[in-house]
Structure 1
Amino acid sequence: MTATPDAGDGRDDSAIQAQEGVPLTVAAVAARLGVAASTLRTWDRRYGLGPTAHEAGAHRRYSPDDVARLERMRHFTLQGVAPADAARAAMSADPEDLQQAPSLDGAPGPSVPHEPLLVDPLSLAAAAMEPDQPRVQRMLAQEVREKGIVRAWTSLARPALSMLGKRDRSDRPGVDPEEMVQAAVLTAVRHVTAQAERGHHARTGAEPRRTVLLCAGHDHRLRAHVIGGALAERGVSARVLRAENAGGAADLLAALDSRGARVLAVLGHPPGAEELVRAVAERGDIEVFLLGEHPPDVWLPRVRRVRTPSAAVEEIAGILED
């Protein structure tokens, strides 16, 4: 009598069939890997990772070795490996190695070394258009580790966003390359900030007290977050204020006082910026920085102009370190 699998063992039919050597359909493999059937057809067409089993009068089916290769491919892509590189690794694996391929149902698999990626604005834009979110995040993380959050923004993310903004093509529903890059930048900023705050607390036993308020409209808000993350690395606590929610001068001064902020940085030229900057500067106890190429036309003591994010970080941190 043949034992039947326990219905409560948590495995789906495709997993059981694959282990028993039964060739699988495209739909079954797609369900097992958690990808669309169209993705499997694309991998077949582009990389040759298609089904090899064939029965007369029937569609081609995936053999156990085919499924193992696809599981390996899927595992690599989830870790941020470029699809073409993942396919080469999966295709070049020995049959014995495929039996040890990483399982997608929670079983441990071999660790995948993260080889350094080729990182440049065009590659980042291409990964976002694919869309390949893990690879986008890996590229940003690698650039931040090697060059810091500001350089990652100025030399990688911002040029990539500029390229994406000039496209004249449409996107599939649910695919927004610009939003993907922006989300990856914010993720990198959160990581940098959290790491810096943990380090500061470990050294001093306290939270950073020196606070900067970064006021930015929609077009400059991402840059404000990048500057805030870089300031965190210098032991400076920053908060990003939406310019459209800043209110009047009294509201802004109250926000500065509630945070104990010693610096106000205004990015770009949001509506009403002149009035706000003048009111803060004339009070005399808060330093004001105007960031960008077209700042508000206000020339007063305690008002400084800087054009680049790196210069802003250096000057703001320098004042607060005095």
Structure 2
Amino acid sequence: MEPMQSKDNMKTLMPIAAVSSLLGIPVPTIRSWERRYGFPVPARTHGKHRRYAVDQVDGLRMMRDAITRGHSASEAVDIARRHATEAGPRSELLDRFLDTAMRLDPAGLRDVLTTGAESMGVEHTIRDIALPAMREMGSRWKAGVCDTAHEHLATEAIRVWLARQSALAPAPFRPFPLVLACGPKDLHTIGLEAFGVVLARRGWAVRTLGALTPVPSLVVAVLAAEARGAVVTSQRSVTRRAAVEATAAVDALPG
């Protein structure tokens, strides 16, 4: 029997059409997997319309990817179920974060991130909650099931938390800094900031330049800081060439 959800909870779940559009899986295929394998079992509205939680969307994504790699549908279901079992508390915290973001509750978002850091460590919280949450919020926005306000609030909560973790990192003990920058055509900095925290916790001094970093500015920063190297991020294929050119400019520096 499908689980019924309250009206408030339904607001945080995705309709089947949005899931289909997001993952590129036809709606009839999603329904067929549910009938044949009992996976996933979505919630239902009072009108019997399917609604999917983030962990169920992840399960469908995992099935799709496994089939692409050559697994049968039944094998793909087993892979997705094993992953769901292993995810455990991580999945629960991710769901809590997304539900809280949809309620526009910044204090609640901070509590989820704090709980994650205390229970599984800062870096696992980054990998298993913060970054997946931002990917999911972006997907929901594209699918039309959340507003820019929800995405921006979640982004700001994560950025504030990351800044705090960076401030709490030990004093750098490596001899040379690293420069971090987004590519010249890349706007989104969360991944870059998260990587900066990981590096800082490992003793690196980090110089983070942020979004839309011009190639000449990247070169100036590397030289001025006497950096050991630079990390340039690019999140979209259409902006990747500019990011590669930026790294090539750094690589061409003498010494």
Class of the TM-score when normalised by the shorter of the 2 chains: 0.5 to 0.7
Q: How many residues align?
A: 159
**Residue in structure 1 matching 2:145, options 157, 169, 179:** 169
Q: Give the Å deviation of 1:237.
A: 1.3
Quote the Cα distance in structure 2 between the aligned partners of 1:151 and 1:212: 22
Matching residue's letter, 2:171: H
For the structure 1 residues 282 and 118, does the alpha-carbon distance in structure 2 shift closer, same or farther, using more than 3 Å as the test? closer
Q: Give the Å deviation of 1:190.
A: 1.4
2:171 paired with 1:200: yes
Higher relative helix content: 2
Match in the other structure for 1:238: 206
Matching residue's letter, 1:256: V
Match in the other structure for 1:275: 245
CA contact (8 A) 1:213 1:239 kept: yes
In the TM superposition, what are the counterparts of 1:155-304 in structure 2 within 5 Å?
A: 155-167=128-140, 168-169=144-145, 171=147, 176-196=149-169, 199-200=170-171, 210-217=176-183, 218=186, 220-242=188-210, 244-248=212-216, 251-268=217-234, 269-270=239-240, 272-285=242-255
Quote the Cα distance in structure 1 between the aligned partners of 2:219 and 2:195: 21
Structure 2's unaligned 5+ residue stretches are 1-7, 9-88
State the TM-score, normalizing by the size of structure 1.
0.43
**Residue in structure 2 matching 1:143, options 101, 104, 116:** 116
- Greater relative contact order: 1 or 2 (C-alpha under 8 angstroms, separation 6 or more)? 2
Q: Deviations over 1:226-275 (max 9, x none)?
A: 01111111111112223523243xx4322111122111111125452333
Say which SS state the counterpart of residue 176 (structure 1) adopts: helix
Quote the Cα distance in structure 1 between the aligned partners of 2:168 and 2:254: 34
Say which SS state the counterpart of residue 261 (structure 1) adopts: coil
Quote the Cα distance in structure 2 between the aligned partners of 1:161 and 1:220: 11
For the structure 1 residues 209 and 145, does the alpha-carbon distance in structure 2 shift closer, same or farther, using more than 3 Å as the test? farther
Quote the Cα distance in structure 2 between the aligned partners of 1:144 and 1:213: 26
Q: Give the Å deviation of 1:136.
A: 0.5
CA contact (8 A) 1:149 1:229 kept: no
CA contact (8 A) 1:117 1:139 kept: no
Matching residue's letter, 1:186: R
Quote the Cα distance in structure 2 between the aligned partners of 1:252 and 1:170: 35
In the TM superposition, what are the counterparts of 1:13-162 in structure 2 within 5 Å?
A: 119-162=92-135
CA contact (8 A) 1:214 1:265 kept: yes
Match in the other structure for 1:100: none
Quote the Cα distance in structure 1 between the aligned partners of 2:203 and 2:92: 29
Q: Deviations over 1:20-66 (max 9, x none)?
A: xxxxxxxxxxxxxxxxxxxxxx9xxxxxxxxxxxxxxxxxxxxxxxx
CA contact (8 A) 1:212 1:262 kept: yes
CA contact (8 A) 2:181 2:213 kept: no
Say which SS state the counterpart of residue 245 (structure 1) adopts: coil
Aligned Cα root-mean-square deviation (Å) = 3.0
Identity, % of aligned pairs? 23
Say which SS state the counterpart of residue 241 (structure 1) adopts: strand
CA contact (8 A) 2:192 2:233 kept: yes
CA contact (8 A) 1:165 1:178 kept: yes
User: Over alpha carbons, which structure has the higher Rg?
Assistant: 1
Q: Deviations over 1:129-181 (max 9, x none)?
A: 1121111011112212333333212211222233333332354xxx7221222
For the structure 1 residues 262 and 118, does the alpha-carbon distance in structure 2 shift closer, same or farther, using more than 3 Å as the test? closer
For the structure 1 residues 159 and 260, does the alpha-carbon distance in structure 2 shift closer, same or farther, using more than 3 Å as the test? same
For the structure 1 residues 262 and 187, does the alpha-carbon distance in structure 2 shift closer, same or farther, using more than 3 Å as the test? same
Matching residue's letter, 2:145: R
Q: Give the Å deviation of 1:124.
A: 0.7
